[in-house]
Amino acid sequence: MATTLGVGLIGSGFMGKAHALGFLNADRVFDLPVRTEPAILADASDAAAARAAAALGFPRSTGDWRALVDDPAVGIVSITTPNVLHREMALRAIAAGKPVYCEKPLAPTAAEAGEMTLAAERAGVATQVGFNYLKNPMVRLARDLVRAGEIGAVRSFRGVHAEDFMTDASNPWTWRLDPSGGGGALADIGSHIIALARHVVGPIAAVTGETATLVKDRPFEGGTRAVEVDDVATAALRFENGAVGTIEANWMATGRKMGLEFEVSGSEGAIRFTQERMNELKLYRTRDPAGVRGFRTIEAGPEHEPYGRFCPAPGHGLGFNDLKAIEVADFLRAIAGERPGHADFREGWEVAKTVEAIYRAAREGGWATVG
């Protein structure tokens, strides 16, 4: 029989709810060697934790995250707090021998991400970082097509993660703008497009970068507070396999709600993807006859694992929280000793090193080596 582990969830915002649903749905959609059940939810106060626990189906709650980590009923620690808190929480969980599922970015600095990674690896503790967009069957198909040589030798990558949740200058200052958290748009949403670039094309060797703060201060506690992080960041990339690329991270892209998209160009074709149409992949192949050559649409269906676990019919589509369920399923397999290719802390560390190199290049000019 499958082992059952209690989930300790720290944080109950957007990502906290996504994690809770991910564990719930993974248990019901997949046949897994490890099962889970909600155990304890922690939040900033006892009252906030109690409200969230009632809403998300956790039988117990606490305002003390340390008590959650130390509780014997908790077998998995799930972290969905502001970035600056990740390191301390993860290290305490690792010291207790408990697997850790942490939202991205893994830590404010590459050094902290490295410390967390090495601690987990020394302890033999399974880890995961919340790069859930890597779990989209269409992204997996893009990677598989590239690896199979369907578009020939990869020459270039163009990627962007653009949203508009910070467009309004009257929006108040929040924890996302705290420089102690590691950075702005690049560290926050930019980590997703970096993870996608690495996933589809391969490791990034060197970068250049430029950042811009477009709103200099925002409302805060009856006054204003200076914004010290980037609203927009751009970078040029050199991949280890010789391909080149560009990325943009922009949380002030007016009108864009989930503009996470990329295009990979090769010597014999190209691939295009956008998360706003997450159940489609565009494929162009030069070998097609000239009269019918063009980007064709591949619709997600049961043949694109694990789509069929959710729906037996093609074209019906998966959603955001389905990707979280896939992510959780891969994490639970890793806890059982399987190697599903999920994004663990080491991958989070590699992304953190890339983010840090882009910031370094933006400050100093020229190219910066990753890592």
Strand partners, 269: 266, 285
Q: Flag whether the pTM goes above 0.95.
A: yes
Domain ranges of the chain: 3-132, 136-314+343-369
Which CATH number describes the domain made up of 3-132? 3.40.50.720
Q: How far apart are CA 52 and CA 47, in angstroms?
A: 9
Answer yes or no: same fold for 3-132 and 136-314+343-369.
no
**14-29 and 320-335 helices, crossing angle to 10°:** 70
Residue 172: partners with Cβ closer than 8 Å, 6 or more residues away: 218, 219, 220
Q: Which residues on neighbouring strands pair with residue 223, listed in sequence order?
A: 220
SS3 readout for 42-108 = ECCCHHHHHHHHHHHCCCEEECCHHHHHHCCCCCEEEECCCHHHHHHHHHHHHHCCCCEEECCCCCC
Q: Phi and psi of 261, rounded to 5°?
A: -150, 155
Please, which residues have CB within 8 angstroms of residue 142's CB and are 6 or more apart in sequence? 200, 264, 271, 273, 281
Contact present, 232 and 249 (Cβ < 8 Å): yes
Angle at 7 between CA 74 and CA 79, to 5 degrees: 100
* Tokens matching residue 244: 């080149």
What is the chain's pLDDT, residue by residue, as a tens digit (371 residues)?
689 999 999 999 999 999 999 999 999 999 999 999 999 999 999 999 999 999 999 999 999 999 999 999 999 999 999 999 999 999 999 999 999 999 999 999 999 999 999 999 999 999 999 999 999 999 999 999 999 999 999 999 999 999 999 999 999 999 999 999 999 999 999 999 999 999 999 999 999 999 999 999 999 999 999 999 999 999 999 999 999 999 999 999 999 999 999 999 999 999 999 999 999 999 999 999 998 999 999 999 999 999 999 999 999 999 999 999 999 999 999 999 998 788 999 999 999 999 999 999 999 999 999 98
Q: Give the architecture-level CATH label for domain 136-314+343-369.
A: 2-Layer Sandwich (3.30)
